[in-house]
Amino acid sequence: MLLDFGPGMFCVVVVRDLKLMTSMVADRTCDGDQQPRHSSEAATAKRSSFSSGPPHSESAWLGALQGARHWSPQSPKASAVRSGWVVVAPHPDDETLGAGGLIARLARRGEPIRQVLVTAGEAAEVAISDLAERRRVEHRNAMTALGAGHVPVIDLNLPDGRVAEHENGLTEQLVEIGRALSKYPLALIGPLAHDGHPDHEATARACRAASARLGCPLLEYPIWAWERFEIDAFPVARAQKLMLLSSERTRKARAVACFKTQISPPVGPAVLPPAVLKRFARSFETFVAHRPGSLVP
């Protein structure tokens, strides 16, 4: 049975630093990274989820995801009640990689959307002095490519690589954003809790806390988990696949190509090389239900 978000409202919050992620080692000793606050039991379980070898092949992932159920947000024409959507992104491009097709669909339907950028991703390459502004411009261009150029963007401007230091404040801001949409049934979209990047994980914890306080459903999108997770540890039972229309895949591909500082930077290695980008060229997007709420199948 398909999950039903209801028609209408979408909010995006972005939080991520891809360069920082690629240079990170398993114990996360990068400058500015903060160890997430987990119990020892949870931390042990998390470490066991990560692969110690090379990333699994794309064909292996596609095979593992065959059993994930299909999901689609209900058309607003099917109900008189519109829904509110909040999409949270740790860094500019996370929202496009993880949920670009969903954003394109909701924008095309004219559903109310809010997009939250947690950081500007300025720490991805310290040699580029104006990287924050470049990435904001790339993000605006990507939203236009998705047909979502009209969507309000809430730029929180937290320090890239140090979101964990501001986790409580981020939670409060997300709750405030959600409450501003209280006239709509609310759904929250954010990064996967154990995505393998400290900013993503701090953002995910804030999303989970905000979801609990708002009493709204939460779906999480993987980014770096595709490169680091053991397939057997991935929560396929809670995964939902949004099958993308051809037009949505085209829009998403154009939007992803806007992030030139991450794909073909003027200095340093690419944060998003072809081997990583292929995870986001699939015919579907994957979301993991953390707090199903009314989305329970």
Specify the DSSP element, H or E, that contains 22.
helix 18-22
Mean pLDDT of 10-32: 36
Mean pLDDT of 279-290: 96
Task: Give the C-alpha separation, 15 to 272, whole Å.
Answer: 16
Task: Give the C-alpha separation, 179 to 30, whole Å.
Answer: 35
Q: Which of 74-83, 223-232, 253-262, 276-285 has the lowest mean pLDDT?
A: 74-83
pLDDT tier at 262, thresholds 50, 70, 90: very high
Token pair listed for 1:
């049975």
Contacts of 69 (CB under 8 A, 6+ apart): 1, 2, 3, 239, 240, 241, 297
CA neighbor of 163 nearest in space, from 37, 70, 296:
37
Specify the DSSP element, H or E, that contains 220.
strand 218-221
pLDDT at 260: 96
The rounded percent of the chain whose pLDDT value lies above 90 is: 66
pLDDT at 82: 61
pLDDT at 28: 30
How confident is the model over 47-85, as pLDDT tens digits?
557 766 689 999 999 999 998 999 988 765 544 456 789
How confident is the model over 123-182, as pLDDT tens digits?
998 889 999 999 999 999 999 999 999 999 999 999 999 999 999 999 999 999 999 887
Q: Is the pLDDT of residue 250 over 90?
A: yes
CB 32 within 8 A of CB 164: no
CB 85 within 8 A of CB 10: yes
Phi, psi of 239, deg, nearest 5: -85, 140
DSSP string, 65-98: GGGSEE--PPPGGG-S---EEEEEESSTTHHHHH
pLDDT at 75: 61
Q: Is the pLDDT of residue 253 over 60?
A: yes
Question: What pTM does this model have?
Answer: 0.82
Q: Which domains does the chain have, with CATH numbers?
A: 10-295 (3.40.50.10320)
CB 71 within 8 A of CB 99: no
Query: Which comes out higher in pLDDT, residue 199 or 37?
Result: 199
